[in-house]
Structure 1
Amino acid sequence: MKFTPICFFLLFISVFSCKQENKHLTRIEGKLLPITDSLVKNAEIEDMITPYRNHINKDLDSVIAYAVDTYSKSDGELNTAIGNLFADAIYEQANPVFKQRTAKNIDLVLVNHGGIRAIISKGNITKRTAFNIMPFENSIVVVALNGKNVKQLVNYLTKAKRAHPISGLKLTVDANYNLKEALINGKPLDTLKTYYVATNDYLYNGGDHMTFFKPNDSLYVLDYKIRNALLDYFYKKDTINPTIDDRFIKLDN
């Protein structure tokens, strides 16, 4: 039998392929590499980044309004000055957009207490203030809810016993947090009516266990970020002086 070069090549491949071993991952190791001031900066990268960093910082530190006091979301039990400002700003900025598109008005606003991520300090308000308060990319949506679902919304708030920002809605509970009165734009809640509720996309999708937004009659996406609404509100108001009011109160008896 005569072996040709191609036969030797195939024999070589066959023998060595049989000797290959299957390799398996047996261990993964990690090593902590702390980032400290001792690390040497890359001068070329720094030179490239610095102009952009300076431009962004200058823009974020530009003054757009003035706060007459310091406001925190922990200032009140059932409603806070900063929470009221937060909800009122959403209504004031979003309602014209919604009305232009639908010829309807927003009836009430509900957003979550945890969505406020910083205080407003007394003095100048800058663009950075708005980014600190709302660092998330949440957008405003308006949900058409029937009165029964709005009743669930009200029940959620009375059970939560927390200062979730609301606007257009007035709630009164007794000393045991039992609902005494629920008014929307000064009128009693009507379970047979459809209400247009502004919130954010996170809550609409069930965030903070707010499941009452689904099902609904309609959803309107305004393509308007809450942070941008705050910025527009600050620009327009110049000076802010929000207060704790009677939109959600508890009676002594």
Structure 2
Amino acid sequence: MNYKHFILLICLVTLSSCKQDSYLNKIEGKQINISDSLQPDKTIEAFIKPYREHVNANLDSVLAYAVNTLSKSDGEYNTAIGNMMADAVFEQANPIFKSRTGHDIDMVLLNHGGIRAIISKGNVTSRTAYEVMPFDNSVVVVELKGQQVKELLDYLVRAKRAHPISKLKITLDKDTLLQSAFINDKPIDLNTSYFVATNDYLYNGGDRMNFFKTNDSLYVLDYKVRNVLIDYFSETDTLRPVIDDRFIQLKN
């Protein structure tokens, strides 16, 4: 007997031996739109309410005050909000890094696209930090050799974008070519290494910052950038960041 015929015979025998009322004849379904017309379950709502109120109270607690609205589009090569974020990473992460390694962070590099919201003029809360940095990116410190630092500079010059930096100063000439670069107010020495703080997204090649991949050492601080902001806001009564000369192009 053909194998397929044998299987078909078995199926027919099995079906014929079942009661008619046990057959599954049809499955029906319908789409239920989630809208305000759906009534909440009062039991679940009562259970969740105290947790929601506690979370909202923490998120909406005032940590600082911003004297101006801060946006990542308010500058060409550096922005007030980007400068603040990079400086905050240095101020909050450097004591941790130094206590563990005995070294200081030399510079900070974050990514312009990682700033996901403005900071409005007025009260600044923990919720503000979650809006600006909704991702769970963490601070890492990478030891870069001189050649990698050169690649970092080349990347920033090519990008011509306001990627947040701290302790690094770049000047372009009128033709947008690199004129000078300093770390901690000293000319960059390509024969030495520098400790660069960034986030784990960039370290893993995000935004095509591939110069981070071939590093000498990686230090994971277990410190989320969002928490850096929350701690920075808590310690800074009034936010007054400005656009400065850390990355500029000369016009003449």
Instruction: Give me the TM-score of the superposition, normalised by structure 2.
Output: 0.88
What's the counterpart of residue 172 of structure 2?
173
Alignment deviations for residues 134-160 of structure 1 (CA, whole Å, 9 cap, x no partner): 111000000000011011101111111
String of CA shifts for 1:166-218, please: whole Å, max 9, x gaps: 00100000122100001111111111110000000000000000000011110
1:58 aligned partner: 57
Q: Report the equivalent of 1:10.
A: none
CA distance in 2, matches of 1:162, 1:33: 46
Q: Provide structure 1 residue ranges, at least 5 long, that are not aligned to the other structure.
A: 1-13, 22-29
**Residue 110 (1) aligns with residue 109 (2):** yes
Which deviations, in whole Å up to 9, do the C-alpha atoms of 1:216-237 show, x marking residues without a partner?
1100000111111111111111
| In 1: Cα distance, 2:97 partner to 2:149 partner | 19
Question: In structure 1, what is the Cα distance between the partners aligned to 2:97 and 2:71?
Answer: 29
Residues 92-141 of structure 1 show CA distances to partners (whole Å, capped at 9, x for unaligned) of: 00000000000000000000001111111111111111111111100000
CA apart distance, 1:18: 7.6
Deviation at 1:20, TM superposition (A): 7.1
C-alpha distance in 2 between matches for 1:112 and 1:15: 66
Indicate the residue corresponding to 1:38 in structure 2. 37
Matching of residues 1-253 of structure 1 within 5 Å: 16=10, 33-253=32-252
Q: Cα offset for 1:70?
A: 0.8
Mark the runs of 5 or more structure 2 residues left unpaired by the alignment: 1-7, 16-28
Q: Residue 79 of structure 1 aligns to a residue in which SS? A: coil
How large is the Cα RMSD of the aligned pairs? 1.9
Secondary structure, aligned partner of 2:47: helix
Q: How far apart, CA to CA, are the structure 1 residues paired with 2:215 and 2:244? A: 30
For 1:43 and 1:236, the matched residues in 2 are separated by 41
Give the whole-Å Cα distance in 1 for the aligned partners of 2:240 and 2:41: 46
Q: Structure 1-normalised TM-score? A: 0.88
Partners of 2:30 and 2:12 in 1: CA distance: 37
Distance 2:163 2:98 in 1: 25
Amino acid corresponding to residue 207 of structure 2 in structure 1:
D
Same amino acid, percent of matched pairs:
63
Report which stretch shifted further, 34-43 or 172-181.
34-43
Distance 1:179 1:20 in 2: 81
Secondary structure, counterpart of 2:140 in structure 1? strand
Paired residues, number: 233
State the 1:34 CA deviation: 3.1
In structure 2, what is the Cα distance between the partners aligned to 1:192 and 1:131? Answer: 40
- C-alpha distance in 2, partners of 1:138/1:43? 37
User: Secondary structure of the residue that 1:47 maps to in structure 2?
Assistant: helix
C-alpha change, 1:19 and 1:152, in structure 2 (3 Å) is farther
Aligned to 1:141, what secondary structure does the other structure show? strand
